[in-house]
Amino acid sequence: GIQVEQSPPDLILQEGANSTLRCNFSDSVNNLQWFHQNPWGQLINLFYIPSGTKQNGRLSATTVATERYSLLYISSSQTTDSGVYFCAPTGGSGGYQKVTFGIGTKLQVIP
């Protein structure tokens, strides 16, 4: 299956700082999602981004599928950004997809 590496594993930011989270994957993928798991355990989809760049408020993501990596940018971080960020590339054939998760980047934003 697809191997996923996320870096850094842990990150502490001062409120207002910017950061970049990286996701490397080992094989070609059909799609890729970024998720945020808040401190209450809920997984929320941030981006569905098989290639290119997307922006949503203070967050943006870029996937370069040919080079097998994706980046998540967080600008002007807030304490509510704390939690774990998962990269989840998807691969498969026959019309359905199998999702593989990285172990995540644990982010703590301090005031």
Partner 1 sequence: GAGVSQSPRYKVAKRGRDVALRCDSISGHVTLYWYRQTLGQGSEVLTYSQSDAQRDKSGRPSGRFSAERPERSVSTLKIQRTEQGDSAVYLCASSLLKNTIYFGEGSWLTVV
- Residues at the contact surface with partner 1, assessed by CB under 8 A: 1, 4, 30-31, 33, 35, 41-43, 45, 48, 86, 88, 90, 95-104
The rounded distance, in Å, linking the Cα atoms of 21 and 51 is 16
| 3 state SS of 81 | helix
Beta carbon of residue 66, minimum distance to partner 1 (angstroms, whole number): 20
Beta carbon of residue 51, minimum distance to partner 1 (angstroms, whole number): 14
Quote helix, strand, coil % in the chain, to nearest 5: 5, 55, 40
Beta carbon of residue 111, minimum distance to partner 1 (angstroms, whole number): 26
Would you say the C-alpha torsion 65, 46, 73, 41 has a positive or negative sign?
Answer: negative
Nearer of residues 16 and 92 to partner 1, judged by Cβ:
92
Nearer of residues 74 and 104 to partner 1, judged by Cβ:
104
